[in-house]
Structure 1
């Protein structure tokens, strides 16, 4: 995954949405070990002629890593006195701040729609692009900052899930005695029962299998994080939502967004799996839930969209359009393969 800073100018979010859809450029080879699993790299634009790269692999021996570079490109590096690894935004010049702010918005936006990081044409600063291309240390500090902010976005989605899970699944109504709460949560998580609405909130077996991914908790998280305010990402990138149907243009929740929400709900449920009086808080690391995330993507795309039972494409569209509609309004009408009732789906 990567994020390129190239020449151009964009003045508003609508143009940024268009730029998000462009394919990213070539990947660079070096990765910082700690961020191997999910951090993007920042690359400069390709030139018209043969590429001539001269990477500065380390600036550790320099008294000032900014020496020799245009002032416009300078950043304030961590001073090493507090153990801080990433740069501080408040210490950067306005040009760098603007670039980082937009990179964060675009990166989080693409996380919702395509899981890839976008090419941004929005900032016309070829000197910064050149500095990024030719200085590994400089590039690493900028990308680490963007990655940290995207990671915070995921953690915030999980926070919304934590707020919804305990009450909307009825966990707090189940007694802890005789492991009743532990068994209840285990049943919810078994075969991914938690993605289905329940006829009776305290009966984890009373699920409507013809309504996958329509549990009120999932819709609640979609609404709270992505659609609740005008500044929410779902509203900010409203024109990016599309329909997969050839006959109905109703907008759909993209599978990447839904998969992220479902994974955070799963993570929030795991904090109750021991059946304790209070949830057992756990760190949310994207890499820890890759398998679950991949499972949900496969379920949506392979088992629903490509279903051989009825019209899979229509069922997929109806599901994702309903999630968009209800998520926007905030109204809800161990990894195992979910048992889905495809024939019963609308």
Structure 2
């Protein structure tokens, strides 16, 4: 599919000769290919055009498959273990792309210092373990989903409101079933975007994939409105 430039002429001609030899009506074409280099060179361009068309088709299918796979159950919110090649479903919303969007798009300049009141801990026994608010996390995740579809869908409120609401519901549902574990996730994400060291892990609902077990904890969690 990608012959070296210096060998393309011979590559194309040899395959044309082989193809013509397989078809009895093309026997004269084969003879001329072997006897007339100029004819072979002109005809060989058709082969390259056909290969380019095939490559475009394969590329389109591959892109569609990759996008569909990432969008399924919102897989793009999870980092992928580089060794096992599996999603780290115990770390939702901590995909490096989400971290990068927050660090570079929000946590620049004096934003963190000027708006520190936005970040609180829902864990009474650990008030210094600040978390990112749900709305901020959901927006970053929605932005990453737009990246996967940006070829065809503009990043407008109407187009992505459902995705945003879905992420907000995912956070709410996860908090209801595994509040301490989600606190750890959102606190970890807070550290990811406010500290220099970034977390590096070795159209449905991502709730299906999240693997956070409820952590027994006697501490009471603050009932605060994170849905700003």
Distance 1:344 1:210, change over 3 A: farther
Cross-structure match for 1:326: 192
1:258 alignment partner, SS class: helix
Gaps of 5+ in 1: 1-174, 272-279
Q: Of 85, 90, 98, which aligns to 1:218? A: 98
* Offset from partner CA, 1:185-243 (integer Å, 9 cap, x none): 21111111111111239x9x72111111111111111111121222x3x4421233111
Q: Report matched runs for 1:255-274 at 5 Å.
A: 255-271=134-150
2:199 & 2:58 partners in 1: Cα distance? 28
2:190 alignment partner, SS class: helix
Gaps of 5+ in 2: 1-56, 216-228
On the 8 A contact 2:138/2:164 being kept in 1, the answer is yes
User: Is the counterpart of residue 246 in structure 1 residue 117 in structure 2?
Assistant: no
1:227 alignment partner, SS class: coil
User: Is the counterpart of residue 285 in structure 1 residue 144 in structure 2?
Assistant: no
Cross-structure match for 2:87: 207
TM-score (norm 2): 0.61
RMSD: 2.7
Higher alpha-carbon Rg = 2
Q: How many residues align?
A: 155
2:131 alignment partner, SS class: coil
Greater helix percent: which structure?
2
**Which structure's relative contact order is higher, taking Cα pairs within 8 Å and 6+ residues apart?**
2
Deviation at 1:295, TM superposition (A): 1.1
On the 8 A contact 1:195/1:212 being kept in 2, the answer is yes
Once superposed, which parts of structure 1, at least 4 consecutive aligned residues long, lie more than 4 Å away?
none
